[in-house]
Structure 1
Amino acid sequence: MTSAKEISAMAGFGGFLQQVTPVVLTFNEAPNISRSLERLHCFDEVLVVDSGSTDETLKIVASFANTRVVTRPFDSFAGQWNFALREGGIQTEWALAMDADYILTDEFLAELSALGPSDNAVAYRLAFDYCIFGRKLSATLYPPIIALHRHKQVHYIQDGHCMRAQVVGTVGQLQSRVQHDDRKPLARWLASQAKYADQEAALLLSKPASELRIQDRLRTLMVITPWLVPLYCMTVGRGALDGWAGIYYALQRGVAEAVLALKLLEARLASRQEKQQHD
């Protein structure tokens, strides 16, 4: 396995890492940000776009010599990313879009250092290993995303609670995986799910069924996915092999689906009540 020190040495001799600026979005990420930044010391600069953290996040970021912080009040994930790419002062041709709970492995850094994109290559997708309290799960529902890109040729759009990178050109796939390891408190996760569910419900209700993916059509039925998703995680996703970490992940996914189902049901009942009042 290539050590972090060797990775840094490769970067110093002209590796592709020198052409990349990691960009990290933060808001009260003290439980995560140190572990993420420790894996980024081999980059010349790391841009941190903070949304007004009130915990120890910025103090931790300041302890890393290669970081630069810009602050922008949060409006949407797409808004934050477009600001970072257009107004963040990125000096390299390539940017690596990261959440504060992404951990770059030695294998990933080695692959990135040796990367030689063609002139037609605009972006690369990253796949993930999902971790629960540091334990890597056998599988995850977390999809690959476009995260490494020529930042001047990328624009982000909001899609429910997620953002998606829009590119025109060749998109490759990196083979090494990034670890996703969020260790923020459960109460914070639960509060986030309520906000995310509002956005997802609005998106699902705004589209006709014919335009929805199969999994989203199941979500609109409201009574299927809250039990089907955790069952899938434990069986097909091999969560049963991961012990308590697998159970924790399955329960998380079930709760997320249940909150979304409640939001959809709430909207349906409110619409029915409003219709009855007008009749």
Structure 2
Amino acid sequence: MDCAAVTPLLITFNEIDNIARTLAKLEWAQRIVVIDSGSTDGTLEVLAKDPRIEVVRRPFDSFAEQCNFGLAQIRTGWVLSMDADYELGDGFVAELEELQPGAGQAGYRAAFVYRIHGRPLRGTLYPPRAVLYRVQGARYENEGHGHRIRLGGAVSDLRSTIFHDDRKPLSRWLGSQLRYAAREAEHLLGASREKLSRIDRLRLMGWPAPILVLGYVLFVKGAVLDGRAGWFYAYQRLLAEVLLALELLDRRLSGASK
């Protein structure tokens, strides 16, 4: 695949702690599209220094709509969907140039190595996701606190990994988790139980998920062997599940009291 056939797409909001590292791995791109929802921390100033980058400002309403708006700005046949805290692995570009997608190939999925302040973890809960795909036929849909890409064809796995390394302040992460918990609770309470996964049914119960996730991350995924970074990640996942459990309880209790 010719690198010129691929346009990186980034969604940003106050990413000054991450954006330079992400852009450093996109030197091969001829054009980069950034959808920004009102950054005020210096992110826009960093982006303005690179003539390849086209920044389009759009107020944030949902992840899915932000991404769909971004897809409409892409002029190449393929897009590389990036969060502003992603870093491409060293072998990514070489593999990209080796790809020979057939007509039925809609995209490619990448696995991630999760970092805490630059320290890679052995294993996390961060799932592989489709990052490289044809623009035609692609559509994002909201799902819980996140979003899911729908592609009209085959999706294969890449050999190369991508690093996830969010270095924004902990206070920013906490604020995001409160919003995510509210969206996830709405999703879980509004979905029919039959359509929920086994994990989501456990989360819907409230109390099991925080206990289980801590043990799973530490001992099954091996975070206990990653020192302070591993414990930091395990506590993050524990707190995220506790916040969701509290949100579910709050909604149930407030509804019962009316």
Q: TM-score range by the shorter chain?
A: over 0.9
Equivalence map 1:259-278=2 (5 Å):
259-274=243-258
Identify unmatched segments of 5+ residues in structure 1.
1-14, 275-279
Aligned ranges 1:1-279 → 2 under 5 Å = 16-86=2-72, 88=73, 90-274=74-258
CA RMSD of aligned residues (A): 1.0
Runs of 4+ in 1 over 6 A off after TM superposition: none
Letter in 1 for 2:169: P
Paired-residue identity, %: 47
The structure with the larger Rg is 1
Unmatched runs of 5 consecutive residues or more in structure 2: none
Q: Distance in 1 between matches of 2:94 and 2:116?
A: 24
Which amino acid counterpart does residue 144 of structure 1 have in structure 2? P
1:64, CA displacement in angstroms? Answer: 2.4
Deviations 1:225-259 (A, max 9, x none): 11211211110000011100000000000000000
Q: Matched residues in 2 for 1:17 and 1:253: separation?
A: 36
AA in 2 matched with 1:106 = D
- Secondary structure in 1 aligned to 2:160? coil
The 1-side partners of 2:4 and 2:88 are apart by 16
Contact 1:29 1:184 in 2 (8 A): yes
Aligned length, in residue pairs: 258
CA distance in 1, matches of 2:197, 2:154: 24
1:113 is displaced (CA, Å) by: 2.1
Taking the aligned partners of 1:227 and 1:112, their CA distance within structure 2 comes to 41
